[in-house]
Amino acid sequence: MVEEKKEPKKFSLPKLPSFSFKDFRLKTQVGKSMFRHGYSDDEKDRAMTVLTNVFFHLHPVRVRKSGARFGFTWCAGGLSFFVFLTLVVSGILLMFYYRPTVEYAYNDIVAMREHVPFGIMRELHRWGAHAMIITVWLHMFRVFMTGSYKPPREFNWVVGVILLVLTMLLSFTGYLLPWDQLAMWAITVGSNMARATPFFGHEGPGAALLMLGDIPLVHAGSDVRFALLGGRFVGAAALLRFYILHCVAIPVAVVILMAVHFWRIRKDGGISAPL
């Protein structure tokens, strides 16, 4: 009998289970259910990637090379959106520590700086608010200077103007929340302007015409300023109202209009070309 020669076994690492993202995407049911497009980088798949994603589909499928150039757009609209997202995140975090009542508001703001971990969060929110005002104005300036408001984009310009106003209203309502002397008197001065609203403000033109016999319909207790402040002066009701407007009402309107704004860029033919 010949003894079988045993070859010495070579050492090898145990085989690790291999994972291929491509296989996951194209072969498993989970992967196929999540993505509706292929995996190649041909024209069709790249278009499908954009069209079948709820977030991407607001964007144009194609962007002109000139339109993607930083010098043409300044990326001001994109920056505005990015800053808005940071404001949403930091704002939600601040809501965990802030109570919009006369008793607590100012102390909570001080505590955010003194006791809350990462006291810079409030500053981030504040700087972000300043930055968003700047980027939104830059965006508007760029759109104006490149003539991008012209047909067929005139409707999107109007949506943008509303977004500009809402951005400033977000700043205005957020201004009151620290509940210090600056906040108090800035909002007092600011909301006094609403007194002079035609017909709706009790000191505005036309308000005196709205009489029922000799009873004025529009007075200090029934005009548009009263509805805004929930009272005759800036007090507890105004603080709560501005908080709700700042954290819920205006952001919801802004998000809806932003979706329309982005979607209209696509529908109006993508980013405009240089003239």
Partner 1 sequence: MITWLGFAWTVFAAATVAALSTTLRFMFPNVLFEPKTSFKIGSPDTYELGKVDTRWEDKYGVWIIRSPEGIYALSTVCTHLGCKPSWMDSEQKFKCPCHGSGFYKSGINFEGPAPRPLERFSISLADDGQILVDKSKKFQYEKGEWSNPLSLLAV
Shortest separation between residue 176's beta carbon and partner 1, angstroms: 15
188 binding partner 1? (CB under 8 A): yes
Q: Distance (Å, rounded) from C-alpha 108 to C-alpha 100?
A: 9
Q: Distance (Å, rounded) from C-alpha 210 to C-alpha 216?
A: 6
Q: Identify which of residues 18 and 181 has a Cβ nearer to partner 1 in the complex.
A: 181
Q: Is the peptide bond before 17 cis (omega within 30 degrees of 0)?
A: no
237 binding partner 1? (CB under 8 A): yes
252 binding partner 1? (CB under 8 A): no
Q: Distance (Å, rounded) from C-alpha 211 to C-alpha 42?
A: 70
Q: Which two tokens stand for residue 199?
A: 């017909």
185 binding partner 1? (CB under 8 A): yes
Shortest separation between residue 267's beta carbon and partner 1, angstroms: 28
* Contact with partner 1 (CB under 8 A) among 236, 240, 257, 260: 236
Q: Which two tokens stand for residue 258?
A: 């932003």
* Contact with partner 1 (CB under 8 A) among 68, 189, 248, 259: 189
Q: What is the torsional sign of CA 204, 206, 211, 214?
A: positive
86 binding partner 1? (CB under 8 A): no
* Contact with partner 1 (CB under 8 A) among 161, 209, 233, 252: 233
Question: What x-and-dash track marks residues 152-181 binding partner 1 by CB under 8 A?
Answer: -----------------------------x
Shortest separation between residue 129's beta carbon and partner 1, angstroms: 22
Neighbours of 98 (CB within 10 A): 21
> Site size for partner 1, by CB under 8 A?
16
In the block, residue with structure tokens 């700087």:
127
* Contact with partner 1 (CB under 8 A) among 231, 249, 257, 267: 231
Q: Distance (Å, rounded) from C-alpha 223 to C-alpha 196?
A: 10
Query: Of the listed pieces 92-100, 119-127, 227-235, 267-275, which binds partner 1 according to CB under 8 A?
Result: 227-235
Query: Of the listed pieces 137-145, 154-162, 229-237, 248-256, which binds partner 1 according to CB under 8 A?
Result: 229-237
DSSP-based helix, strand, coil % in the chain, nearest 5 = 60, 0, 35
Q: Distance (Å, rounded) from C-alpha 169 to C-alpha 257?
A: 15
Angle (CA) 37 42 46, round 5°: 50
Q: Distance (Å, rounded) from C-alpha 223 to C-alpha 172?
A: 20
* Contact with partner 1 (CB under 8 A) among 158, 232, 252, 273: 232
Cβ-proximal residues to 49 (8 Å cutoff; 6+ apart), any chain: 37, 56
Q: Identify which of residues 139 and 202 has a Cβ nearer to partner 1 in the complex.
A: 202
Give contact residues for partner 1 (rule: CB under 8 A): 181, 185, 188-189, 192, 221-222, 226-227, 230-233, 235-237
